[in-house]
């Protein structure tokens, strides 16, 4: 009896990647798609309401300091223009 159960498990596992999609599987995919769409809409709404209007002025020295990890020498007016 144990050998028969083992054989059934092997046949189920080996057929799993090739089995056809059933109604339950499509229902699950549809539910997951709905959840993902709702999640994207909620995150977009939160961004739109909270983050969108937040502006942070950035200049060349701030970017250089962030990327290089050290304070750079001041940029002359002739180089900026």
- pLDDT-based confidence at 1, cuts 50/70/90? very low
Cα radius of gyration rounded to whole Å, the chain = 29
pLDDT at residue 19 greater than cutoff 50? yes
Query: Is the separation of the CB atoms in 60 and 49 below 8 Å?
Result: no
Domain ranges of the chain: 21-52
Q: Within 13 Å and on the Cβ side, how many CA atoms surround 16?
A: 6
Average pLDDT over residues 57-70: 83
Q: In the prediction, which pLDDT does 21 show? A: 67
**Which pTM does this prediction carry?**
0.45
């Amino acid at each position: 009896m144990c050998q028969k159960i083992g054989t059934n498990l092997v046949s189920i596992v080996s057929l799993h990647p090739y089995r056809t999609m059933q109604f339950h599987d499509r229902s699950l995919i549809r539910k997951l798609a709905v959840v993902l769409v709702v999640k994207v809409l909620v995150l977009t709404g939160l961004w739109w309401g909270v983050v969108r209007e937040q502006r942070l002025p950035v200049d060349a020295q701030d970017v250089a300091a962030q990327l290089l990890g050290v304070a750079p020498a001041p940029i002359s007016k002739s180089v900026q223009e």
